[in-house]
Chain A
């Protein structure tokens, strides 16, 4: 199975900060990588698919990059509603990263 390793597992940030989250795959997954945001008590919500394509309706401050084994989710200017947990997910098979909790 393909393992997905996210880092950091948590981070503290302030409104307006630039935030980056890294996701590494244990083998080449080309660009089959999606990013989700999850808030407490809710189902995950898609942000980015195909490593870099912004889902319709998602703010442009979210960007995804990378291919092969290393991927990055960037939030250019953190907003109050962005405090949540973020997961990467590879769709070459199907596994999720361990998550990154973004806290104030």
Chain B
């Protein structure tokens, strides 16, 4: 089945950057698409973007595209999400999650394997 294990909680000041890691195990990393989803305290889920394990292609959500960079290291089967110019409203639990394609179209996918989440707190 495989799993995703994320890095530990972070506390940052406004204006700083944070880099969260997501290590894959027991599945073929290069065949996956890793998405990042965040959840502010007591709030809903917000998709941030995806990166392909195969060639590192990315697609970012409009509301973070100018502050986020997603990368992968295939040698360690690890994905990274860096968010810059942090603000208090970036305080959230950040999840990495793989997308499973159940049909032969780009839209036929769902999120299956989730990391445990990484709490990022932004406070002065």
Contact = CB atoms under 8 A, between A and B. Distances in A.
Interface of A: 1, 30, 32, 34, 36, 38, 43-44, 46, 49-50, 53, 55, 87, 89, 91-92, 94-99
Nearest to A29: B107
A44 B45 contact: yes
Interface stretch (B14-22, B23-31, B67-75, B108-116): B108-116
B46 interface: yes
A49 B95 CA distance: 20
Given A43-B95, A50-B102, A99-B44, A94 B35 contact: yes
A46 B111 contact: yes
Contact of A87 (B44, B95, B109, B114): B44
Chain A interface main SS type: loop
B66 to A, nearest CB: 16
A65 B21 CA distance: 37
Contacts of B115: 43
Given A43-B116, A89-B111, 20 more contacts: A1-B62, A30-B107, A43-B97, A43-B114, A43-B115, A44-B114, A49-B102, A49-B110, A50-B102, A87-B44, A87-B45, A89-B45, A91-B110, A94-B47, A94-B50, A94-B61, A96-B44, A96-B45, A96-B47, A99-B44
A1 B61 CA distance: 10
Chain B interface main SS type: strand
Nearest to B35: A94
B117 interface: yes
Given A43-B114, A94-B35, A99-B44, A32 B95 contact: no
B31 to A, nearest CB: 18
28 contacts: A30-B107, A32-B108, A34-B110, A34-B111, A36-B111, A38-B45, A43-B95, A43-B115, A43-B117, A46-B111, A50-B102, A50-B103, A55-B110, A87-B45, A89-B45, A89-B111, A91-B108, A91-B110, A94-B35, A95-B47, A96-B37, A96-B44, A96-B46, A96-B47, A97-B44, A98-B44, A99-B44, A99-B45
